[in-house]
Structure 1
Amino acid sequence: MASLRERKKQQTRQALMDAAGRLFDEQGYEATTVDQIAAAAGVSPRTFFSYFRHKADLLHTNLYERLDAGVAAILAGRPGESPAELLARAFDEMLAESWTMGLTPGLVGDAVKLPIFSPRASIDRADTRMERLAAALVTSCGISRMTAYAMVGAAIGAVSGTAAVSMSEDRPDEETLALTSRACRQALAGFTA
């Protein structure tokens, strides 16, 4: 059970995320300031920065939780499951609650249009996913590190590309989820041979 201090920290973090989501919806991401988010959450801007490095971090609040779900799915492999099947199931787990690969639910459509989604930021997030998922594949399946990285890279590329096109076409979330799942499996099909 979490200590009182830990529960208080979790409540403050959640209050900041909730306030940001509300303000982003009401006035847009660009018009919302850190000071406004902190005030709406009832904390100081200094407290905000003890939880998040900058405003953009609020858009990716669940990345590590989703990665944990994917790693757990890989490490809990079923007998006879191939590395490609394991990884595809891991992506299903990661995408189940938030198909956005770490974006805060409700902020997806606007978030992908923001200038903060620079190639460098995308690469940093992809590197984190690749390292964690590839390491789990190596541990669970005994495949080479190079093969594990190639598989994870193929899956991330398929999911990210498919999600971007689907969102740009304003497809419903359920359809985007189905399309990304299928694209992931197609990208990994070559690794089963």
Structure 2
Amino acid sequence: MADKNAGPFPGEFPSLPKQERALQKRKALLESGRRLFIEKGYELTTAKDIAAAADVATGTFYRYFSDKRQLLMALLQDKIDFLMVPEPDWLSEDPVLLLARLLDEHYKRLEAVGIHRVLPELLPKDSELAGILQEARRNIHMQIVQGLELARQKGLTWKDIDLDTAAWSALILAENGPDKEEHSSSPLNTLEAARIICRMIFPP
């Protein structure tokens, strides 16, 4: 996609089609790829499978994408904001409730998109993709630190905590929230998670 080549996803993407019918075919291929990657796994999904699920010829697939990896990268380029945890407004009058709402919305978006389920299969094998996601996480971490620094300037945070470590801790907890049920007897309560994060950063 010519207008996105300057973004975090390297490589040559075919230009976006201009005709509505062609745009709909590309959209159908992306949706079919997303669904099949989740259902079958990335390795077991072929370009032929994706084309068949989108009700187009296999040759049509290659008009829009060079291979299934490029389709995946296009999916991630479109959805990467959904994969990253939200940056809260630490200066909010009620940061706990705001953060709980942001986390709840984030987890619902993740579940709806579902593409994050494919990443554990891919990241150990694709260093380029792993690097892209790691850079996105660094950017989110930096933004959280900057927000906490503003809060500290207003005297809102604990004076003796390291803000970089606090931001990292909040990021790790937020990212792994959906996995809580695998390690305990109950799913994550976003309000409790938000309360723990804020207690770690702000005095009562």
TM-score by length of 2: 0.54
**Matched residues in 2 for 1:153 and 1:36: separation?**
40
The one-letter code of the counterpart of 2:123 is: I
Q: Which residue of 1 aligns with 2:28?
A: 15
**Matched residues in 1 for 2:165 and 2:190: separation?**
18
1:150–1:24 distance in 2 versus 1, CA, 3 Å: same
1:88–1:191 distance in 2 versus 1, CA, 3 Å: farther
1:161–1:70 distance in 2 versus 1, CA, 3 Å: closer
1:61–1:151 distance in 2 versus 1, CA, 3 Å: farther
Residue by residue, what CA displacement relative to the aligned partner does 1:68-116 show, whole Å, maximum 9, x if unpaired? Answer: x945x639x75x335x665454333323x3245xx833x55x5365242
1:93–1:27 distance in 2 versus 1, CA, 3 Å: closer
Q: Which residue of 2 aligns with 1:104?
A: 113
Q: Post-superposition shift, 1:15?
A: 1.5
Q: Post-superposition shift, 1:132?
A: 4.8
Residue ranges of structure 1 left out of the alignment (5+ in a row): none
**Structure with more helix by fraction:** 1
Q: Which residue of 1 aligns with 2:9?
A: none
Residue ranges of structure 2 left out of the alignment (5+ in a row): 1-16, 154-161
Aligned counterpart in structure 1 of residue 64 of structure 2, from 47, 71, 76? 47
Indicate yes or no: 2:165 matched with 1:186.
no
Contact 2:51–2:61 (Cα < 8 Å) also in 1: yes
**Matched residues in 1 for 2:119 and 2:184: separation?**
12
Aligned length: 171
Contact 1:130–1:152 (Cα < 8 Å) also in 2: yes
Q: Post-superposition shift, 1:127?
A: 1.9
1:65–1:133 distance in 2 versus 1, CA, 3 Å: farther
Q: Which residue of 1 aligns with 2:134?
A: 123
Indicate yes or no: 2:173 matched with 1:158.
yes
Indicate yes or no: 2:121 matched with 1:114.
yes
Indicate yes or no: 2:151 matched with 1:143.
yes
Q: Post-superposition shift, 1:191?
A: 0.7
CA-atom RMSD in angstroms: 4.7
**Matched residues in 1 for 2:77 and 2:190: separation?**
19
Aligned counterpart in structure 2 of residue 24 of structure 1, from 27, 33, 37? 37
The one-letter code of the counterpart of 2:81 is: Y
TM-score by length of 1: 0.56
1:142–1:191 distance in 2 versus 1, CA, 3 Å: same
Q: Post-superposition shift, 1:143?
A: 3.2
The one-letter code of the counterpart of 1:188 is: C
Contact 1:24–1:32 (Cα < 8 Å) also in 2: yes
Larger Rg: 2
Indicate yes or no: 2:101 matched with 1:94.
no
Q: Which residue of 1 aligns with 2:79?
A: 62
